[in-house]
Amino acid sequence: MISPDNSYASVVKWPPNGRGDWIKTHVDDILVIPSGDFIVEKRKCDCLVKVRDFYSLPNIRMLCYDEGFEDFDLRYAGGYWVMIEFKVKEACTNFMTYDGLNHWFVEKQERDRNFTPLERLVSRDIEGVPLHALSKDAFRRSLAKWGYIAHLDDYLSEDVYKNQICILTIFQGIISEDIKIKVDDLVFTIHIKEASG
């Protein structure tokens, strides 16, 4: 005789006894971190800047040097945001009031311990776009749901079937989705996923 607890029906009726409490407990788990001596609290001569576009990010150090600002460190903060850590408080104050770099920076603000960028800059792999549809417009339209293209190389990589594109997005989850596109009355499934690294 089969015990009611070991029957096929008991597997289908999971969780046992109709209790779904264990699911709610695991879904609602939140890691609580006490306020404390965080690394960012030790820095007193820094500010946050948001650059105008993707291509400004690698040039921030040289732009600041050209305008007379020296002896600082840069830390990427997410999206188009960078934290500039000056060695001297006076240099930070001068930087915040200086207008010569406003063409490159959309926003400047003092360090805020609760700062979290709304957007993130991420690479996406797109696989399965047919050769006759490979274009910047096809990539832009395929990725529009999650953000806009921040960087796209003008050349095709060695693997034409798979292209990696950098986008700016406010979506905070990991993207992994198949979408259908129609080209010349033919439907193709393309795969869009967040690139590793």
Q: How many CB atoms lie within 10 A of CB 85?
A: 17
What pLDDT score was predicted for residue 22? 43
The total domain count for the chain is: 2
Task: Please give the pLDDT value at position 23.
Answer: 47
Task: Answer with the residue of higher pLDDT: 135 or 96.
Answer: 96
Q: Rg (Cα) of the chain, in Å, rounded?
A: 25
Shared domain for 85 and 52, answered yes or no, is yes
Q: pTM for the complete prediction?
A: 0.69
Per-residue confidence band for 178, with pLDDT thresholds at 50, 70 and 90: very high
Residues 126, 188 share a domain: yes
Collect all residues with Cβ–Cβ distance below 8 Å to 115 and sequence separation of at least 6: 48, 77, 81, 109
Q: Give the model's pLDDT for residue 143.
A: 85
HSE-CB for 183 with a 13 A CA cutoff:
17
Contact between 161 and 168 (Cβ < 8 Å): no
CATH number for the domain that contains residue 47: 3.30.70.330
Q: Which residues contact 189 (CB under 8 A, 6 or more apart)?
A: 128, 178, 179, 180
Check residue 81 and give its pLDDT. 94
Residues 132 and 181 in one domain: yes
- What distance in Å separates the CA atoms of residue 1 and residue 158, rounded to the nearest whole number? 63
Does 12 map to a domain?
no
Alpha carbons 122 and 107: distance in angstroms, whole number: 21
User: Which pLDDT belongs to residue 157?
Assistant: 55
Q: Are residues 81 and 59 in the same domain?
A: yes
Structural domain span for residue 43: 39-110
- Sheet with 147-151, side-by-side order of all strands: 147-151, 162-169, 120-127, 186-194, 176-183
pLDDT at 140: 85
- Bridge partners, residue 81, by sequence: 50, 78
Residue 14's pLDDT is what?
46
Strand partners, 180: 189
Q: Are 157 and 164 in contact (CB under 8 A)?
A: yes
Residue that is last in its domain, among 71, 87, 110: 110
What pLDDT digit, counting tens, does each position of 52-95 carry?
998 899 999 999 999 999 899 999 999 999 999 999 999 999 99
